[in-house]
Amino acid sequence: MKVLYNIGILIFSSLAQLIAPFNSRASLWVKGRRNWAEKISDKIKSGDRVIWIHCASLGEFEQGRPVIEAIKREMPVFKIVLTFFSPSGYEIRKNYSNADCISYLPSDTPGNAGKFIDLAKPEVVIFVKYEFWNNYISALYRNKIPLFLISGIFRPGQHFFKWYGSFFRGMLRKFDKIFVQDQGSFDLLNSIGIEKVFLAGDTRFDRVVQITGTARDIPQLEQFRGNEKLFLAGSSWRQDEEIIAEYINSFPTRMKWVFAPHEIDKSNIERLEKLIKVKCIRFSEYTEVSADARVLIIDNIGMLSSAYRYAYIALIGGGFGKGIHNILEPACWGIPVIFGPNHERFMEAVNLKYAGGAKSFVTFEDFKGILDMWLTDEKLYTISAEIASNYVIENAGATEIIIKEIFKEDINRQHS
């Protein structure tokens, strides 16, 4: 299996090279990995004390972020090396100020793994949620470098739990500790003999609690909202937008409406604008005289998490595709959330929906029924809003559990 794994890595890397001239994401993936060794050597010097944290993409970074920032705050003696697999993580967070060196993860070959570890010389390594790279894991294990997985979540269909999964189970056994989000993951790992497991929860709850304390004011949204209720569609996709637009066109005065599309390229913004039959303005073109518009489209990246504070109801996009985006960002403000049908893989969505702080929809009639209910029944709306807020508060605290457990043997909690 190890030979097949290494062949698979080489085939994947070769295919990325072949399609890079024709595919922007593949191009970023290939170009970003050039000169990685020089980047590490430039940032990490002899004598530096290093913690390496690896995230697949942007979502995993947001889960790892509270841990990174806790380490920098409590143990500033360490330098942070932060790596990404995906361009969607690296390209957005390549200037993140709390990491000392940010890089793409080189392809998982034995040579790359050995060279990376020799250059970075990490004392501790943390992988976030889903990342299992056999050659890196094996090299760390051989070098007796502690390796931890945080915010892990496991399901019965994964390779680890199949009859043919001994190779993948072998990777799990090389982790010093695995911190999981839920009891189901804990039990699954125990069932295959993985005992160094800790039920810590999801660090994203800690992240969104931080957001409520650091969110910036957006006076344009406050002015646009005025004295009306505001509906915010965050990270919306086409199928979400078509249903919302139908409601807006039928009942434009029930609320003010804001879209923050997942894709903000010109053609997608223009497509969205064509769906809407009432006055619509882009955020980049907004002025005080535009406040009478019924719909505002946020055509930038980076303000969505702060924008939720102005909403009365929030929709989280992606539920008609591979899965929904982050529902905790609006929930932490005490805002009821709605999303499409493909949310069953997201524990927080299932739990919040069961508790009553969120609803899901498939059709326009479903969507209309949810909005009409929350807009007309103030008592029910208030209950849903409180459930959303309390759910986030009650599930925060994973970062503290992880930090205390990883560093409980005092791997030099030095502050200078």
Tens-place pLDDT, residues 220-250: 999 999 999 999 999 999 999 999 999 999 9
Looking at residue 409, what is its pLDDT? Answer: 58
CATH fold of 216-395 reads Rossmann fold (3.40.50)
| pTM check: above 0.75 | yes
Measured CA to CA, the distance from residue 71 to residue 91 in angstroms comes to: 23
Residue appearing with tokens 């957006």: 218
Looking at residue 76, what is its pLDDT? Answer: 92
Give 378's contacts (C-beta < 8 A, 6+ positions apart).
none
Instruction: Tell me the longest C-alpha to C-alpha distance in the chain.
Output: 66
Measured CA to CA, the distance from residue 16 to residue 132 in angstroms comes to: 20
Looking at residue 301, what is its pLDDT? Answer: 84
Is 31-201+397-406 in CATH node 3.40.50.11720?
A: yes
Express as a percent the part of the chain with pLDDT over 70.
98
pLDDT for 343-394, tens place per residue? 998 889 999 999 999 999 999 999 999 999 999 999 999 999 999 999 999 9
Give 130's contacts (C-beta < 8 A, 6+ positions apart).
56, 60, 152
- Strands of 122-128's sheet in order across: 101-104, 78-84, 49-55, 122-128, 147-152, 177-180, 197-199
Looking at residue 412, what is its pLDDT? Answer: 47
For the record, the structure tokens of 126 come out as: 């943390």
Q: What is the pLDDT along the chain (416 residues), one digit of tens a residue?
A: 888 998 999 999 899 889 988 898 889 988 889 899 999 999 999 999 999 999 999 889 989 999 999 999 999 999 999 999 999 889 989 999 999 999 999 999 999 999 999 999 999 999 999 889 999 999 999 999 999 999 999 999 999 999 999 999 999 999 999 999 999 999 999 999 999 999 999 999 998 988 888 889 999 999 999 999 999 999 999 999 999 999 999 999 999 999 999 999 999 999 999 999 999 999 999 999 999 999 999 999 889 999 999 999 999 999 999 899 999 999 999 999 999 999 998 889 999 999 999 999 999 999 999 999 999 999 999 999 999 999 999 999 999 999 999 987 544 444 43
- Domain ranges for the chain: 31-201+397-406, 216-395
pLDDT for 316-338, tens place per residue? 999 999 899 999 999 999 999 99
- b/e per residue, 25-63, with b = 16+ CB within 10 A? ebbbbbebbeebeebbeebbeeebbbbbbbbbbbbbbbb
